[in-house]
A and B are shown apart, each in its own frame.
Chain A
Amino acid sequence: GAVVSQHPSRVICKSGTSVKIECRSLDFQATTMFWYRQFPKQSLMLMATSNEGSKATYEQGVEKDKFLINHASLTLSTLTVTSAHPEDSSFYICSARDGSSATYEQYFGPGTRLTVT
């Protein structure tokens, strides 16, 4: 089946530093990838949608200069949290959609727990 991986699974960084999270589709080509953020005991909030080779589309209220998204290949998207602050601590989940699929199903990664100290 379709598998999406994320790396790292957990990361702790100091306030003011930047951290990069990778999202990979392992066995399919992902023309579209999505980044979500989840706060404790809450549902997933879509941050941005990225299409391979294009600029990401950010949801209202999401700072594009703070959350840099790159989707340079059909199997890799990255999310870089720049100048991280404690309020950026959260669970970040990516998903990918198979460009050849007619169902528009999204496949989700295992998530990355970011803690900013």
Chain B
Amino acid sequence: KQEVTQIPAALSVPEGENLVLNCSFTDSAIYNLQWFRQDPGKGLTSLLLIQSSQREQTSGRLNASLDKSSGRSTLYIAASQPGDSATYLCAVYGGATNKLIFGTGTLLAVQP
């Protein structure tokens, strides 16, 4: 059974700092991995999707890496801003189960 864990559960940083969010998964037979952002009381905003054959994806100040063999992904946020404050979720899709399995989430607070 696929399990997805995110560390840390919560993170508070001053504005301008670079930061890394971690995601680990137990079954490396995944098809892709997605990072999402969720603001309080809102739905999910997709940030990046990495296919299993890819090592990383970049979008603006965000960079996500994937090491499928070790079951790990990181989301790097450069020059953090207060507007980045949100909960960040990673999710893995395994073809055999046809399901997107979500991690436990990291609550990020960027202090102005």
Contact = CB atoms under 8 A, between A and B. Distances in A.
Interface of A: 6, 32, 34, 43-44, 46, 49, 91, 93, 95, 103-111, 113
B35 interface: no
A contacts with B: majority SS: strand
Main secondary structure on B side of the interface with A: strand
Interface string B8-33: 00000000000000000000000110
Contacts, number: 45
Interface in B91-112: 93, 95, 98-105
Interface residues of B, number: 22
Interface stretch (B42-50, B58-66, B68-76, B77-85): B42-50
Most-contacted residue by chain A among B34, B98, B100, B102 (CB, 10 A): B100
